[in-house]
Amino acid sequence: MPQADLTLTPAGPALAPRYTDRSPLPRKTPRSPYLRLFSVPGTRAFTAGNIVARLPTGMFGISAVVMISGRYDSYALAGAVTATGMAAGAVTAPWIARCVDRYGQSRVAVPAAAYAALGQLVLLLCVHQKAPAWALLLTCALTATQPNMGGMSRARWAHLLRDDPDALHTANAFEQAVDELCFMLGPVLAALVCAALFPEAGTLLAATLFLAGALLFTAQRSTEPPVSPRTAAGSPLRARGMVPLLAVFLATGAIFGSMEVVALAFVDGPVAGPVLALQAAGSCAAGLLYGRARRAFGLRTCLAAMTVTMAMPLLAATTGSLLALAAGLLVAGMATAPTMVTGMGLVQRLTPPAQLNEGMTLAVTALLAGIAVGSATGGWSADHAPFPAFGFLVPVTAAAVALTLCAATGVGRRAPDPL
């Protein structure tokens, strides 16, 4: 506390304002925007738990394919089971997110994650005992309650940084980089574990990591967004601009789904996975750089850049060089993260705060639906290609469709107030 002492003056003793401030010196603000993010109390703990819970997202699919195809000798059944899980998740995910908004993250995510992890273990046992195919399909359909961990993490950042748009932009970029990292490392980890141990090991490890990460994440109550009072706004779909934005997300998902299938069909060998991972690596690096930018680009600009960069694998494939294709995929990925960061930022601006988890889950659901459509279209084009590089026209076309939808509807041109 400041102190004042008696000192001698020409007029006699008087109070002299001699101040000694013993308060601690202010801490230096970190120069890196990412270090500034994690200087906020509680952010490191919830981020660590969330990353552990999100890594299995890239593991469940390939683990199920390895496990089921090895036991039943049928890739068709493996694909049907994973597709059933995705379809059921597309139905349940928005409902679970609505419950999260209404009752809180820890109250809803813990039982939902536990039930989903239990479903993976039941699926593992069914496969191990070689149960009928309908039992596998039914298990996937009834236990598709996996909460949107990435959406809940973004909701925490939106709550903590609600008065700092620049920091929120950096946080969204970091979250997108985490998404790319999980989808890049998850399949590799699953394949290694299944090959080194036993076919069911990937599913067992993924279920364990998912539940442990969800419990660690939800235990961080200090950063959990408060439950907002129930409003009469209805579904986030009623927010102005949300439906056109979801249509853009649908077309964007088709880019990712088609590029994965077409690239795998083109390479057709053990190096297909690492080559395709370069696209995620380019997106991860671009996302981290985009988070350091002082200003965000508009969604139309990002989609235009994506349309151009998605043409790079097409041009590289015409040369027949695997190295050229790898470089083309690396470049193609560099527009992905900025586009997703900008799109998710628009979702946050358009969605009422009381429905933020539901709004972001709807965006993810649209992406997954687009991935399914893109995968089917890319597979058809790979089988009926008049020339080897023909399939790479599909992601370029999907990017052009997303750009056209964005320009025609005016999505991102302005951010209307949520209803």
CATH number at residue 290: 1.20.1250.20
Does residue 57 sit in the same domain as residue 198?
yes
Residue 64 near residue 203, CB atoms below 8 Å: yes
* pLDDT at residue 237 in the model: 73
Does residue 127 sit in the same domain as residue 180?
yes
The reported pTM is 0.74
Q: For residue 199, is it within any domain?
A: yes
Does residue 214 sit in the same domain as residue 252?
no
Strand segments (E) across 121-195: none
Contacts (Cβ under 8 Å, ≥6 apart) of 414: none
DSSP, res 236: G
Does residue 267 sit in the same domain as residue 408?
yes
Question: Helix, strand or coil for residue 411?
Answer: strand
| Segment of 69-73, 277-281, 339-343, 354-358 carrying the highest mean pLDDT | 339-343
Structurally, the chain folds into a number of domains equal to 2
Does residue 218 sit in the same domain as residue 337?
no
Give the C-alpha separation, 352 to 358, whole Å: 10
Query: Residues 160-169: contacts with CB within 8 Å, 24+ apart?
Result: 160/40, 160/43, 160/223, 161/40, 166/33, 166/294, 167/33, 167/36, 167/37, 168/345, 168/348, 169/291, 169/293, 169/296, 169/341, 169/345
Give the C-alpha separation, 138 to 159, whole Å: 38
Does residue 131 sit in the same domain as residue 219?
yes
| Per-position b or e across 140-164, b if 16+ CB within 10 A of its CB | bbebbbbbbbbbbbbbbbbebbeee
* pLDDT at residue 320 in the model: 80
Q: Residue 96 belongs to what H/E stretch?
A: helix 75-103
**pLDDT of 105 over the 50 cut:** yes
From residue 406, give the alpha-carbon distance in Å to each of 15, 239, 257: 70, 17, 20
What is the domain range of residue 165?
37-227
**pLDDT-based confidence at residue 273 (cuts at 50, 70, 90):** low
Neighbours of 297 (CB within 10 A): 17
Of 200, 227, 254, the position where a domain reaches its end is 227
Bridge partners of residue 14, in order along the sequence: 7
Residue 184 near residue 284, CB atoms below 8 Å: yes
Mean pLDDT across 214-229: 85
Of 176, 194, 227, the position where a domain reaches its end is 227
Closest CA to 310 of 329, 289, 337, 338: 329
Does residue 286 sit in the same domain as residue 180?
no
Q: For residue 50, is it within any domain?
A: yes
Does residue 404 sit in the same domain as residue 346?
yes
Q: For residue 103, is it within any domain?
A: yes
Does residue 249 sit in the same domain as residue 396?
yes
From residue 122, give the alpha-carbon distance in Å to each of 52, 113, 116, 136: 22, 14, 10, 9
Does residue 213 sit in the same domain as residue 355?
no
Bridge partners of residue 21, in order along the sequence: none
Does residue 153 sit in the same domain as residue 201?
yes
- How far is CA 402 from its chain centroid? 19
Question: Helix, strand or coil for residue 385?
Answer: coil
**pLDDT-based confidence at residue 5 (cuts at 50, 70, 90):** very low
Pairing of strands 12-16, 5-9: antiparallel
Q: For residue 304, is it within any domain?
A: yes
pLDDT for 324-371, tens place per residue? 888 888 888 888 888 888 888 888 788 877 777 778 788 888 888 888
Does residue 200 sit in the same domain as residue 245?
no
Of 199, 227, 255, the position where a domain reaches its end is 227
pLDDT for 113-133, tens place per residue? 999 999 999 999 999 888 898
Give the C-alpha separation, 366 to 371, whole Å: 9
